[in-house]
Amino acid sequence: MRFQRFMAALGALCLASAAMAADLPVIRAATLKIGTVNWELSTIAANGLDEKHGFKLEMMPYADNGATRIAVEGGEADMAVADWIWVARQRAEGKDYVVVPYSRAVGGVVVPEGSDARTLADLAGGKIGIAGGPLDKSWLILRAYAQKEYGLDLKAETEQVFGAPPLIFKSALGGDYAGAINFWHFLAKMKAAGMRELISVETAAMALGLDPDVPLLGYYFKGDFLASHPDLAQGFYEASREAKALLADEAGAWDAVRPMMNAKTDAQFEQLRADWLAGVPARGPVDAAAAGRLLALMADLGGAELVGRADAVPDGLFAAVQ
């Protein structure tokens, strides 16, 4: 009889838990199939951190960034990842997007293992491979730094080769460039292969008076979606922070992540893990004044082609997470 009562109570508890889970708001996350954000989001889902913090996470893979943005705009997804400068541009143009901080992982310049270069000035007269286009934010910051520190117009004094990250990765390892700028996870693999970091964007930003603790990347949601679930932004942020802490403190947490990392060697895995953890921002809300200084520099260097109408950080851009 006691066993029957126990099983009945257990069944009732399971039904109650299932009902509670069914009532949780669902966040449909538009992600790249091979995006690094999957490392954190999968950690959230696998460890039940979503339901713990009041929501249910569903990951929806897409082929490219453009597709994730279309998914959010069209209502097929509730959230995606982007740099907040892009989101600020969208908000300035009337789209009610709100950013929850995610990562400050940014790139830098690497040079071949045998290079004699010690500063950006040593790249004058050489060829620089750059992932993305002329408005790549890392490239713009490094240009500003070279001008300030060395009086060097990096654009005029080097030959730039713009290309997709995998192409820049392959060509740089083949010795085609005096230096290369790439997305952080490609740079990690380049360093694992023996290339040397000449200067990080973080170091350059600090020299320019910018705050390197301002996370460039964020999860962005539609404002009305967050407004309909008042506790959701903070709940999602708590899950994100707990996943970051788990990956920082428990080496075993990476066992489930490693298959997603496309790390072909232990050296690549270790460098990717170290650089991902180095990109974890301090807890707390984004400093809007510090963000404004970065936006002003981007507007000065990239103009309206980069920032659109966002001549200042739009009110309400950053979620008020704590």
State the first-to-last Cα distance of the chain, in angstroms, to the nearest integer.
49
Q: Look at the block and give the residue holding tokens 């060509």.
A: 171
- What's the pLDDT tens digit per position in 155-199? 999 999 999 999 999 999 999 999 999 999 999 999 999 999 999
pLDDT for position 15: 41
CATH of 108-207, one of 3.40.640.10, 3.40.50.10610, 3.40.50.2000, 3.40.190.10: 3.40.190.10
Residue 223 has pLDDT above 80, yes or no: yes
- What's the pLDDT tens digit per position in 278-318? 999 999 999 999 999 999 999 999 999 999 999 899 999 99
Same topology, domains 2-104+214-307 and 108-207? Answer is yes
Helix (H), strand (E), coil (C) string for 193-223: CCCEEEEEHHHHHHHCCCCCCCCCEEEEEEH
Residue boundaries of the structural domains of the chain? 2-104+214-307, 108-207
pLDDT for position 132: 83
pTM: 0.90
**Which of 207, 213, 198, 222 is closest to 28 using CA atoms?**
222
Residue 12 has pLDDT above 50, yes or no: no
Residue 4 has pLDDT above 60, yes or no: no
CATH topology for 2-104+214-307 is: D-Maltodextrin-Binding Protein; domain 2 (3.40.190)
Q: Which long-range contacts (CB under 8 A, 24 or more apart) does 262-268 make?
A: 262/34, 263/189, 265/192, 267/192, 267/193, 268/188, 268/189, 268/192, 268/193
- pLDDT class of 5 with cuts at 50, 70, 90: low
pLDDT for position 9: 45
